[in-house]
Amino acid sequence: STRAALDYLQKLYNMFGDWQLALAAYNWGEGSVSRAIAKNQRLGLPTTYSDLTMPAETRMYVPKLQAVKNIVANPQAFNAELPVIANHPYFQTVPLTRDLDVELAAKLADVRIEDFRALNPAAHKPVLIAAGTSEILLPWDNAAVFQRNFDAYTQGQYASWTAWVVPNTMTVADAAQRAGMSESDLRALNNVPPRMLIKAGSTLIVPRGARVKEDVAAVVADSGHLSFQPEIVTRRTTVKAGRSDNVASIARRYNLRPANVAEWNDVKPNHAFKRGISVVVYLPVRAAPAARVGSGAGPRARPVAQVKRGSNVSKVPASAPSKQVVREKRGGTPSKKKR
């Protein structure tokens, strides 16, 4: 920013040919100074800094700047004692050679976690992946402190988090169970929106086990992404069995797994239903049947907006195993009609 300011001041000097006018334009704007000069030219008046009509702030800007320059150049003449400023940048970059917890990085650098995150915007997750973040920014003195403490650190893992590539599309609950953390923590840490499945190939930040020695690979750090697909919302529905209906025919008619239909109704996979008997199925809310089943009358589907509060609605992936599919509510199991 200092270099940009000096470059702009040089440009203004080239425009006006006078450092006082250049400084006035830096404060007031080059267009304002140009219009003030043009006005004086029309009136036949001089166009130096002291002759232009300008706001009081700009009028005093150059004298104040000159006063600062005089004090810095000769502080003794003004009974001023200036602090000693070392001749080096205020910040320094430090190479990151290992995956590192953000809290540990701030601790090793002896800076507040808030200051560390402010200097390193990429540290919005709990871990810094070395393959994706090659260096961190620290105050000059703290950079040396960090390097010394990092080299001497022997208290265990540098990172307690790692990146995990999801092998197949799964629910957030399944991913959390695989990662050994709560569903709410996984959602918050990875910004997973509600009512979404995590698609295969997505990269999640998860706890790093004690036996994991390798840092995150560069290919994962470079190509890591999160992809989602909506969960399928299902509702417990009963339909009337028609003549010659069995588990297989009901499953085929509604694109369901026969094993699921059998389990929902507590019957065997080859069971044949009596005509007119109620058969339990779990169907997508927006795709529930609107036609008759066999010769029996089936219920018509209600749109999502019409499902009453407290109805048995569950959110499950289409390919979920039967124990997931039969859940009427999170954490609940449906009752089974005994025959």
Residue 188 CB-half CA count within 13 A: 6
For domain 232-325, the CATH class is alpha beta
**pLDDT at 300 (0 to 100):** 37
pLDDT in tens, 98-115: 999 999 999 999 999 999
CATH 3.40.50 for domain 161-230: no
**pLDDT at 302 (0 to 100):** 34
**Helical residues (DSSP H) of 1-100, grouped into ranges:** 2-16, 19-28, 30-43, 56-73
Q: What contacts 24+ positions apart, CB below 8 Å, involve 304-312?
A: 304/233, 307/235, 311/235, 312/235, 312/236
Parse the chain into domains and list their residue ranges: 2-78, 91-152, 161-230, 232-325
Nearest in space to 284 (alpha carbons), one of 242, 255, 248: 255
**pLDDT at 154 (0 to 100):** 81
**pLDDT at 286 (0 to 100):** 58
**pLDDT at 157 (0 to 100):** 82
**pLDDT at 318 (0 to 100):** 41
Which residues have CB under 8 Å from 188's CB, separation 6+?
none
SS (H, E, C) 118-178: HHCCCCCCCEECCCCCCEEEEEHHHHHHHHHHHHHCCCCCCCCEEEEECCCCECHHHHHHH
CA–CA gap between residue 294 and residue 240 (Å, rounded): 8
**pLDDT at 233 (0 to 100):** 75
Q: Confirm whether 161-230 and 232-325 share one CATH topology.
A: yes
**pLDDT at 95 (0 to 100):** 95
On whether the CB atoms of residues 217 and 245 are closer than 8 A, the answer is no
pLDDT in tens, 246-288: 999 999 999 999 999 999 999 999 999 999 999 999 988 754 3
Tokens, residue 217: 């690979």
Nearest in space to 326 (alpha carbons), one of 264, 269, 262, 238: 264
pLDDT beneath 70: ranges in the chain:
286-339
**pLDDT at 232 (0 to 100):** 77
**pLDDT at 315 (0 to 100):** 46
pLDDT in tens, 286-302: 543 433 434 333 333 33
